[in-house]
Every structure is written in structure tokens, then in C-alpha cells.
């Protein structure tokens, strides 16, 4: 915002807004009040501070949403969710807006509280998939470090699951599945694609499918047990199983 756009009249409106929100004991209020009292616009760094305050907008909307989130935090049965809502509320109630990402997340959490969805009770195969997600997340720290927002939320999901005896919300379960789509698809659809007893091909050899999809013994891959003509029963990587005879076998 340019200097000429910041008028004393506008600053006076902000002062009244801060008063109405009970923020007249803050540093920002004192700063704005000093400008109006002196009738002199600040220079350089202090003017940058002034424009940053103005750019946030009047604090009423932030404070109102903060009060709403604080009430939701008190009503939530989930400690982790309540803590996040309270942190957002504290920021908003002192006149600071949430970032765009935080606002989307806050609205998602608000909806969860209002809908009061029960936690997911994972079935054995779902629990196996969840554990695979956790192992994959741990093994690929570099990849997730480049996706800070997503990584932070996933860590909170795993932390809550560990600290609250397997507690997992429906939204968090879907969030995990959406962020591990490849593994989810392999684990959940390979049974229909490769039914037990069917003939398939694995690294140019014919195999007979012997099991449903599962997680490998080392916890790092989605595999299926299969009968190999030379090696006997083996664990085969689902993603390497072929539906048809490889081209080289036909030559």
C-alpha cells in the first residue's frame, strides 16, 4: 500500500475497530494511536509496520472467527483437534488473520466438530494398510520434507493414533489414503485384478496367484504370494505382475 493510501482517517477507523474488539492494550493499538496523536506519518521501517497492520484488515472479522473457533475447541471431544482450534483462535483474537492454508484447515476442523463424526474403527486389513503408510512415511523423509504442510498434518495423524490408542478420524483416514494413492490402489484392488488361482506372469515366468495382496515381511512393499514353476512359493511385487504373456515369450 502506497503512502498516500494510508490516511489519518483510515488509521482512526482502525483505532475504533481495535477498541471495539478489546485490543486497545496491544502494541499495534498504541502505535496507531501515537500516529494520530502526533499527526505525523512514520518513516521507513515503522511505515512498513503500519502498512502491514492495514493490510490485515479490520480485526472484527478475525476476532469473531477466533471466538467461534474457541467455542468449538471447548466442544470438541478430541484433544488434538481442540488444541489446533485453540491455537488458531488465539491468533485470531489478537487481530491476526490466518493464512489461506490455515483458513482452509480451520474450516475443515470446524466441520468435523459440527458433524461430530465418530472415529474410524480399522479392520485388520485396514490396520495393515495404515501401518504400511506409517512405515512408508518414515522411510521417505526427504520426499515429505518438501511437502511441509502435508507432512505436518500426517505426523499429527500418526501421533494421535499412537497417543490415543488407535484414534483416527474419518477425515484423517481419507487424507492418508489420498496421499498414499498408489499403495492404496495396489493393496485394495489387486485381489480383484489377480484372484487366487489365476495364471499371471512375473519377470517372464508364469505364476499362479496363491494369496490376496499383503504387505511384504520388511513392511516396504505390496506383494502377493504366488507359485513359481522353478522357485516354488514366492512373494511377488504386485506392480510387476503382468496379466498377459510378456512379448519376449512369444518370440
Q: 93-149, pLDDT tens digit by residue?
A: 888 888 888 888 898 888 888 877 778 889 999 999 999 999 999 988 888 888 888
Q: How many angstroms from the chain centroid is the CA of residue 132?
A: 18
Instruction: Say what percent of the chain tops pLDDT 70.
Output: 96
Residues 35-48: pLDDT tens digits?
999 999 988 888 98
Q: How far apart are CA 28 and CA 96, in angstroms?
A: 11
- Closest residue by Cα to residue 169 from 224, 106, 243, 118: 118
Instruction: Say what percent of the chain tops pLDDT 90.
Output: 36
Please enumerate in sequence order all residues whose Cβ is within 8 A of that of 82, keeping only pairs 6 or more positions apart, or say none: 73, 74, 76
H or E stretch covering 59: none
Q: How far apart are CA 71 and CA 92, in angstroms?
A: 13
222 in Cβ contact with 190 (< 8 Å) = yes
- Closest residue by Cα to residue 82 from 115, 113, 116: 113
Q: How far apart are CA 247 and CA 251, in angstroms?
A: 7
Q: How far apart are CA 85 and CA 107, in angstroms?
A: 10
Banded pLDDT at 249 (limits 50, 70, 90): low
Residues 73-92: pLDDT tens digits?
988 877 778 888 999 999 89
Q: How far apart are CA 75 and CA 10, in angstroms?
A: 38
Amino acid at each position: 500500500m502506497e503512502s498516500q493510501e494510508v490516511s489519518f482517517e483510515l488509521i482512526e477507523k482502525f483505532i475504533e475497530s481495535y477498541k471495539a474488539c478489546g485490543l486497545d492494550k496491544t502494541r499495534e493499538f498504541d502505535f496507531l494511536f501515537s500516529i494520530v496523536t502526533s499527526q505525523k506519518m512514520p518513516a521507513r521501517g515503522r511505515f512498513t509496520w503500519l502498512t502491514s497492520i492495514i493490510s490485515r484488515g479490520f480485526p472484527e472479522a478475525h476476532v469473531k472467527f477466533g471466538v467461534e473457533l474457541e467455542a468449538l475447541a471447548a466442544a470438541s471431544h478430541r484433544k488434538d483437534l481442540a488444541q489446533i482450534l485453540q491455537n488458531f483462535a488465539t491468533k485470531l483474537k489478537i487481530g491476526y488473520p490466518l493464512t489461506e492454508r490455515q483458513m482452509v484447515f480451520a474450516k475443515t476442523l470446524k466441520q468435523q466438530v459440527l458433524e461430530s463424526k465418530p472415529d474410524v474403527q480399522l479392520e485388520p486389513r485396514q490396520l495393515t494398510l495404515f501401518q504400511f503408510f506409517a512405515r512408508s512415511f518414515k522411510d521417505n523423509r526427504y520426499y515429505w520434507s518438501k511437502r511441509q504442510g502435508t507432512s505436518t498434518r500426517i505426523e499429527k495423524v500418526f501421533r494421535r493414533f499412537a497417543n490415543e490408542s488407535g484414534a483416527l478420524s474419518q477425515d484423517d483416514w481419507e487424507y492418508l489414503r489420498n496421499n498414499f494413492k498408489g499403495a492404496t490402489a495396489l493393496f485394495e484392488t489387486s485381489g480383484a485384478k489377480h484372484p487366487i488361482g489365476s495364471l499371471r506372469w512375473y519377470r517372464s515366468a508364469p505364476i499362479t496367484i496363491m494369496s490376496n495382496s499383503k504387505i511384504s515381511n520388511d513392511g516396504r512393499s505390496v506383494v502377493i504370494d504366488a507359485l513359481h514353476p522353478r522357485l516354488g512359493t514366492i512373494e511377488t511385487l504386485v506392480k510387476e505382475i503382468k496379466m498377459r504373456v510378456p512379448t519376449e515369450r512369444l518370440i
